[in-house]
C-alpha cells in the first residue's frame, strides 16, 4: 500500500506528465513541428523511363493560432525546396475547428499558396470543409466555393471532375481530380436528407484519351475501392492520419472504413493509394504521433 508521501510523488509525477503531454499535443506538434515523409514506388502501368517527383500538401485548415498565414508561407517555402516536378494540394484550406483565436481569410491563405513553385505547376482539389463553410454553395448545391475561386484567383489549377494531360521528358501522364465526396451536408434547412458527394470518377476518367498513366487526386480516401486499376496512383488527405496515433494505431478516423485508409501507402489488388497525414487540425486542435507533414513521392 502506498504511503502518503509516495502517493503524492506518484500523483505529482503523473500530473506533470499529463501537463507535458498536453503541452506537446496542443502546443508543439500541431503548431511547430513539420516532417517530410517520403515514398518511392513504381506502380503497375507506369511508363518506363518516366521519373516524377510529386510534392503533396493536404489539410492546411487555416486559422489562428494553429495555422497562421505566416506558417502556411513557411510550409510553402519548405515545399519549394524539395525538388518537386509537380505540387498537388489535396483540399481543406479553411479552418476545421471552432477553437481558434482568429480567422485566416481565404485571400490570405491563397496568397501564401501562390508562392508555391514547380516546373509542372501547382494543381489543387478542394475538400469537405471548403464546401461546408460556404453557405452559398450549401444553399445552391453547387460550386464554385470560395476556395475554388481563391485558388483560381492566384493562378492555381483547380480540378473538379477534370483530367489534364501533362508531360515530362517526352513522357505523358494524366492528372485527374474529382470533386469532394462529402460536399453537400445533410440539412433540414436545405431539404437535403443525407450528405451528398459531387465526385464523378467515371466522367473524370472518360476524359483520358490515351494509355499514359493516371494520377488521381481525391480528398477523401474512401473512394479508393471504386478506383479502377487504370489509375496508377491515388493521392488523398482528409483523415489527418487519425490526428492521434499511438504505436501506429488511431483511435478515431473520419472514414467509414475505420483504420483501413487512415494513413500512409496502401496497396490493394495491385492498386496504390497514399494518404497524407496533412498539416492542420480538425475538430480539436491537437496532434499526437502524427505530426504535420509534407509528402514527397518519387514515382518510377
Per-residue pLDDT, 279: 97
* 9: in domain: no
Given a cut of 80, whether residue 114 has pLDDT beyond it is yes
**What would the pLDDT profile of 20-29 be if each residue is shown by its tens digit?**
444 555 566 6
Structural domain range at position 167: 31-299
Per-residue pLDDT, 29: 60
**What would the pLDDT profile of 253-267 be if each residue is shown by its tens digit?**
899 999 999 999 999
Given a cut of 90, whether residue 98 has pLDDT beyond it is no
**What would the pLDDT profile of 167-194 be if each residue is shown by its tens digit?**
999 999 999 999 999 999 998 888 899 9
Q: What whole-number distance in Å separates Cα of residue 291 and Cα of residue 277?
A: 8
* 17: in domain: no
* 125: in domain: yes
Per-residue pLDDT, 134: 96
* 109: in domain: yes
- Of residues 138 and 245, which shows the higher confidence score? 138
Given a cut of 50, whether residue 144 has pLDDT beyond it is yes
Residues 6+ apart with CB under 8 A from 248: none
Per-residue pLDDT, 20: 41
* 188: in domain: yes
Given a cut of 60, whether residue 230 has pLDDT beyond it is yes
Per-residue pLDDT, 246: 86
* 136: in domain: yes
**What would the pLDDT profile of 191-220 be if each residue is shown by its tens digit?**
899 999 999 999 999 999 999 999 999 999
Query: Average pLDDT, stretch 74-98?
Result: 97
Q: Which of 187, 127, 178 is nearest to 151 (CA)?
A: 127
Q: What whole-number distance in Å separates Cα of residue 276 and Cα of residue 125?
A: 14
Q: Which of 215, 231, 211, 227 is nearest to 87 (CA)?
A: 215
Per-residue pLDDT, 16: 37
**Range from 98-102, 140-144, 149-153 carrying the lowest mean pLDDT:** 98-102
User: How confident is residue 108, by pLDDT bands cut at 50, 70 and 90?
Assistant: very high
* 213: in domain: yes
Q: What is the CATH number of the domain that holds 242?
A: 3.60.21.10
One DSSP character per residue, 129-145 reads HHHHT-HHHHHHT----
Residues 6+ apart with CB under 8 A from 222: 181, 255, 256, 257, 261
User: How confident is residue 245, by pLDDT bands cut at 50, 70 and 90?
Assistant: confident
Per-residue pLDDT, 184: 97
Domain count, the chain: 1
3-state class (DSSP) for residue 298: strand
Averaged pLDDT of the chain: 90
Per-residue pLDDT, 32: 72
Is residue 137 a contact partner of residue 129, using CB atoms and an 8 Å limit?
A: no
* 19: in domain: no
Amino acid at each position: 500500500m502506498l504511503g502518503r508521501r509516495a502517493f503524492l510523488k506518484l500523483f505529482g509525477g503523473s500530473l506533470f506528465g499529463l501537463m507535458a503531454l498536453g503541452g506537446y499535443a496542443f502546443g508543439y506538434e500541431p503548431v511547430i513541428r513539420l516532417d517530410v515523409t517520403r515514398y518511392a514506388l513504381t506502380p503497375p502501368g507506369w511508363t518506363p523511363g518516366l521519373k516524377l517527383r510529386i510534392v503533396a500538401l493536404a489539410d492546411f485548415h487555416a486559422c489562428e493560432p494553429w495555422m497562421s498565414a505566416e506558417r502556411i508561407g513557411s510550409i510553402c517555402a519548405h515545399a519549394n525546396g524539395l525538388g518537386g516536378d509537380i505540387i498537388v494540394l489535396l483540399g481543406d484550406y479553411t479552418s476545421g475547428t471552432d477553437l481558434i483565436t482568429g480567422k485566416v481569410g481565404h485571400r490570405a491563405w491563397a496568397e501564401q499558396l501562390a508562392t508555391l513553385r514547380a516546373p509542372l505547376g501547382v494543381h489543387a482539389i478542394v475538400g469537405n470543409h471548403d464546401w461546408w463553410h460556404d453557405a452559398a454553395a450549401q444553399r445552391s448545391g453547387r460550386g464554385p466555393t470560395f476556395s475554388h475561386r481563391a485558388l483560381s484567383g492566384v493562378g492555381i489549377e483547380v480540378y473538379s471532375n477534370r483530367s489534364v494531360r501533362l508531360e515530362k521528358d517526352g513522357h505523358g501522364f494524366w492528372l485527374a481530380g474529382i470533386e469532394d465526396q462529402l460536399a453537400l451536408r445533410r440539412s433540414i434547412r436545405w431539404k437535403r436528407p443525407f450528405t451528398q458527394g459531387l465526385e464523378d470518377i467515371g466522367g473524370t476518367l472518360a476524359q483520358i484519351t490515351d494509355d499514359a498513366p493516371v494520377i488521381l487526386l481525391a480528398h477523401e480516401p474512401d473512394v479508393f475501392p471504386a478506383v479502377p486499376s487504370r489509375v496508377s496512383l491515388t493521392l488523398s488527405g482528409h483523415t489527418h492520419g487519425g490526428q492521434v496515433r499511438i504505436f501506429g494505431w488511431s483511435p478515431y478516423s473520419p472514414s467509414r472504413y475505420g483504420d483501413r485508409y487512415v494513413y500512409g501507402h496502401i496497396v490493394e489488388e495491385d492498386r496504390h493509394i497514399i494518404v497524407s497525414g496533412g498539416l492542420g487540425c480538425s475538430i480539436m486542435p491537437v496532434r499526437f504521433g502524427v505530426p504535420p507533414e509534407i509528402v514527397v513521392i518519387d514515382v518510377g
